[in-house]
Amino acid sequence: MKYKNTLFGLLLVGIITVISSVLEKTTFFTQIHFSALTLAIVIGIAMGNTFFSKIESYTNQGVILSKGTLLRAGIVLYGFKITLTDINSVGINAITSDAIMLISTFFITLWLGVYLLKMDKQIVQLTATGCSICGAAAIMAAEPVVKAESHKVAVAIAVIVIFGTISMFLYPIMYPYLAEYLSQHQFGIYIGSSVHEVAQVYAAGGNISATVADNAVITKMIRVMMLAPFLFGLSYFLNKENRQNKIMIPWFAVYFIGVALFNSLELLPQSLVELLITLDNILLMMAMSALGLTTRIESVKQAGVKPFILGTLVLVWLVVGGFIVNLAIQTIL
């Protein structure tokens, strides 16, 4: 019976994944730059709060597998989207900007959420992770380390989706006013180091120029590479906070770096790499679908308006602080 439960659960999240993939390619969602990952969690939440409770006992094993094992596999395969050649093409400016923005954004978000707004620590930690690195994918990767409940993950992702979408349209509007201060190369780095999601980065840069878009995406992928050391640091931080001596090593993060380094050797045919990237997208969408299915809107409502106040304050930091950091880096380096 257990294998049937697993199979039915995987089938359910698979159906949501297919629906999300199809909808992503429609004119409406293409124009508003809504990614399949976002659609997967939205559809999952819709199903999870309607009929899923009636079939949960028949599918829960597959849903749990998708939230755990498939998520980790997706993070590992994410490494096939990055090479050291990409990193070299944007230079030390991008690495420096990413490192400064990642560290500062994480701790500023923690301070704002925990000490100023008195929010739930796990929601703040997840939101800080998403804002600092790569949006929903980073939040999902941090979930096993933070050990947060589904509704807390959903709240953090909601903040990322809303404010990442705002920033996606904001940067092209700001560009004509900031072009005299930042070159196209550095403006791309500015976007890549301060916008939440990879898709949002590409959309923001693409609405300016191909040069800005290329530099923005590569800079963003460098931030993604920083996910592994970040998760080690987060694990150490949480264990110290909880006074545990044993550090839980997020091995999937280690494998992610290993895959990225292996991908840099370009030993595999490009067609196979593209196939693995497609598989990775599917696994991450299945994980998002499972998260949505297990998220209850009532639990999300209990978080109140504070997460969105936090998202607003962090967006201000990313836009203003990110500009100052990138201007300084362009001047110095």
Q: How far apart are CA 322 and CA 142, in angstroms?
A: 23
* Mean pLDDT, all residues of the chain: 88
Confidence of residue 1 (pLDDT cuts 50, 70, 90): low
Q: Which residue has the tokens 């639990």?
A: 299
pLDDT at 274: 95
The kind and range of the H/E element at 62 are: helix 52-65
Indicate the number of domains in the chain: 1
pLDDT by residue (tens digit) across 50-76? 988 889 889 999 999 998 889 889 888
Q: How far apart are CA 141 and CA 71, in angstroms?
A: 8
Q: Please report, rounded to a whole number, the percentage of residues in the chain having pLDDT higher than 90.
A: 44
Q: Which two tokens stand for residue 211?
A: 């040069």
pLDDT at 247: 57
| Sequence-separated contacts (24+) of 299-305 with Cβ below 8 Å | 299/149, 299/150, 299/151, 300/151, 300/154, 300/155, 300/158, 302/151, 303/119, 303/120, 303/123, 303/151, 303/152, 303/155
pLDDT at 311: 94
The kind and range of the H/E element at 25 are: none
Higher pLDDT, 203 or 244: 203
pLDDT by residue (tens digit) across 284-313? 899 889 888 988 788 778 788 999 999 999
pLDDT at 142: 87
- R_g of the chain computed on alpha carbons: 19
Q: Is the pLDDT of residue 2 over 80?
A: no
Instruction: Tell me the C-alpha to C-alpha distance, in Å, between residue 25 and each of 11, 49, 146, 308, 315.
Output: 22, 25, 33, 29, 28
pLDDT at 248: 60
pLDDT by residue (tens digit) across 181-230? 999 999 999 999 999 887 788 888 888 988 888 888 888 888 888 888 88
Q: Which domain holds residue 319?
A: 2-332
Out of 78-92, 98-112, 124-138, 229-243, the most confident range is 98-112
pLDDT by residue (tens digit) across 24-51? 899 898 877 777 887 888 899 899 889 8
Q: How far apart are CA 320 and CA 312, in angstroms?
A: 12
pLDDT at 4: 86
Q: How far apart are CA 219 and CA 82, in angstroms?
A: 11
Q: Which two tokens stand for residue 29?
A: 């969602």
